[in-house]
A and B are shown apart, each in its own frame.
Chain A
Amino acid sequence: MVSPEQHLTAAAVVFREADCLDRWQWQDWLDLYTEDCEFWCPAWVDEETLGDDPDRYVSFFYLSGRAAMGDRVFRVESGLTPFVTPLPRTCHVISNLHVTAPDATRLQVSSHWQTSTYHRRQTVHLFGFYDHTLVRDGERWRIARKKITLLNDHLDLPIDFNQI
């Protein structure tokens, strides 16, 4: 049974993450994750099959640990890359959020997302599902694992971690 408190706790973390990304608060975003987190966005194996093993199939992202995610943040912040110059503006909208497997120290959270990315007068819409694993860290909750299912995967522009 999922308590209202557990639901609110889960929603607060998932919504806070989106807010950090959209407002370019990169260090706050990183701080939401555990040191040994996993950030995974698998590719589709065929039209109806999502890759279920990052060591067997290609992924869009398989970042292991907060330091690896920090490298991606560095890239966006550095201004060194032609693709993210100027920085794209993004807006995440998250809905259908529910906690699927609660206990005192761990929450599995499922949600649906849509993002709009605006870059150089062009807008790109992406959408899919999130599966967050949150773990208790003292008084707060951190993200130990985030799996992103990208549903419209034939891309007309490159994607970065903040656009999905």
Chain B
Amino acid sequence: MNRPMERSVPAAGPVDFDRYIDDRIDEGVFAVHRDIFRDEFLFELEMKYIFESNWVFLCHASQLAQPHDFYTTHIGRQPVLVTRNAAGELRAFLNTCTHKGSLVCLNRSGKRKFHSCTYHGWTFDSDGRCVSIKDHADAAYTPAFEANSHDLNAVPRLAEYRGWVFASLNADVVPLEQHLGDARVFIDLLVEQAPDGMELVRGNASYTFPGNWKLQVENCLDGYHLNIAHKGFIEITRRRIARAGAAYKGPDIEAMFGVNLKTGSFGLKNGHALFFTENPAPEFRPLWPQREQIAARLGAGRAKWLLQYGRNLTIFPNVQCTDNAVIGQFRVLRPLATDRTEMEIYCWVPVGEPPAARRQRLRQYEDFFNISSTGTPDDVGAYRNCQEGLQARAVQWLQGHGRGLGRMVRGANDYARELGIEPETSSEGPLNMSDETLFHTNYRQWLRLMKDGQRRALAAGEIS
């Protein structure tokens, strides 16, 4: 630790990725090198080896529910058009005209049987087939040209788990269910809240922040920052409690930060992670009035995990869902540069919930999660402060991954056994322990994917 280290130079041969993650937990050591948050050449490799070579979250099925609906997004740096064909099946294509490369779909979402390129009019149906080349008969194309497929380029792998749509630009990946592994249990809990399923409330509240994407990956499952970075939110909540008196309907802030509040975490396989907190006031959750029906539908064990534990989930590398003291938020992140990340955020709601519950949920969401709220702006402020502070290149290693390591266990603990899952690591303790071992799996997966990607690139002769 703290040994001087030469900065590796891009494109001068293979990168020794092992040097960035000091993973010796049997000796009580886990540390992350600061360069992975600040080196631009590493960012390019992350795009290529992590985001553009493996499963990433694409969209939620409710964002394009009907035949011919579409949704545009990105995989890493690459523009993607997701559609439903006439039969209602999901399709994903690179959003680039086979003719001159223009985007073929310019809108964020909508419904269209045909996507016509606005440059020369080549037209594609919702199954990606090129159905029209303008003035084809007069084109004097050669037979060799005509032998090409003119269809949109399909994203090689596309799969859905309970409405969560994932895709991979690399065909050679494990099946999605295997990639998700035990994280599926927590997606199930999120999905099974409502008998008619869940959806994302419409209303664009996307933003970018001046920081590395891994700051967001960590923050969503970081219990340690709550009563420091969000002190403003906590004080506002105290004001509301004082003002409302007995009529107050919201989380009990004092109980929330009591040391007896139970928390825990799981480092799941393939980089996914879960943080959970005993909910001190489950009766304020919009779902609480339906607790008996939920217990009847899911069984007492799952109902307890759904209603009485707040859960923050990361599906590595780019989707996170919180379902905790107040309500649910869905976050999709997209790295734009070493120090710039784009966020698409959504309020995660039951389909067809009663208007009063929906109103309560929206107001709580806007109050804490929106980019105009009393919560998220302070996370964004912290990201910026980290990104600027990390420019202190004379300092090599972070000290941010050690909390809880003294209590962490390999494999399952009682909480994991109750859920029937086999995490790589399990942790439990009071909220004030603020476990940081759950981030280890993120960085182990980061390292695995970077090394795998480099190995493939070396084998293909792309680098030497």
Residues in A lying within 8 Å of B, measured CB to CB = 41-47, 51, 54-62, 67, 71-72, 74-75, 78, 80-85, 120, 153-161
Q: How far is the CA of A54 from the CA of B363 in the complex (A)?
A: 9
Q: Is the CB of B206 within 8 A of A44?
A: no
**Known contacts A46-B108, A78-B235: does B378 contact A154 (CB below 8 Å)?**
no
Q: Known contacts A58-B365, A61-B372: does B232 contact A155 (CB below 8 Å)?
A: no
Contact A46 B110 (CB under 8 A): yes
Q: Is the CB of A60 within 8 A of B366?
A: yes
Q: In the bound complex, do residue A80 and residue B203 qualify as a contact, i.e. CB atoms below 8 Å apart? A: no
B203 and A71 form a contact (CB under 8 A): no
State which of B243, B372, B374 has its C-beta within 8 Å of the C-beta of A159: B372
Give the A-B pair count, Cβ closer than 8 A.
120
Alpha-carbon distance A82/B233, docked complex (angstroms): 11
Given contacts A58-B365, A75-B232, A156-B207, 18 further A-B contacts (CB under 8 A): A43-B204, A44-B204, A46-B107, A54-B362, A55-B355, A58-B201, A58-B366, A71-B239, A75-B233, A75-B236, A75-B374, A80-B232, A82-B382, A83-B378, A84-B377, A154-B208, A155-B207, A159-B372
Sample of 14 A–B contacts (CB below 8 Å) = A45-B203, A46-B202, A55-B359, A58-B370, A60-B372, A61-B366, A80-B232, A82-B378, A84-B377, A154-B206, A155-B371, A158-B207, A158-B372, A158-B376
Assuming A47-B108, A75-B232, A157-B380, is B355 touching A82 (CB within 8 A)? no
Please state if B107 and A43 are interface contacts (CB–CB under 8 Å): no
Q: Is the CB of A55 within 8 A of B371?
A: no
Q: Taking chain B's interface residues, is the majority helix, strand, or loop, or is none over half, making it mixed?
A: helix
Cβ B201 vs Cβ A158 within 8 A: no
Q: Given the complex, which residues of B lie within 8 Å of A62, measured CB to CB?
A: 362-363, 366
Nearest-neighbour CB distance to chain A for B59, whole angstroms, equals 15
Q: Do residues B240 and A71 form an inter-chain contact, with CB atoms below 8 A?
A: yes
Name the residue in B109, B205, B210, B232 with the highest tally of chain A Cβ atoms < 10 Å from its Cβ: B232
For A154, list chain B residues within 8 Å (CB): 204, 206-208
Q: Which residues of A contact B202 (CB under 8 A)?
A: 45-46, 51, 57-58
For the complex, give the distance between the alpha carbons of A27 and B76 in Å: 46
Chain B residues with a Cβ under 8 A of chain A: 107-110, 201-210, 229, 231-233, 235-236, 239-240, 243, 346-347, 355, 358-359, 362-363, 365-366, 370-372, 374, 376-378, 380-382, 384-385
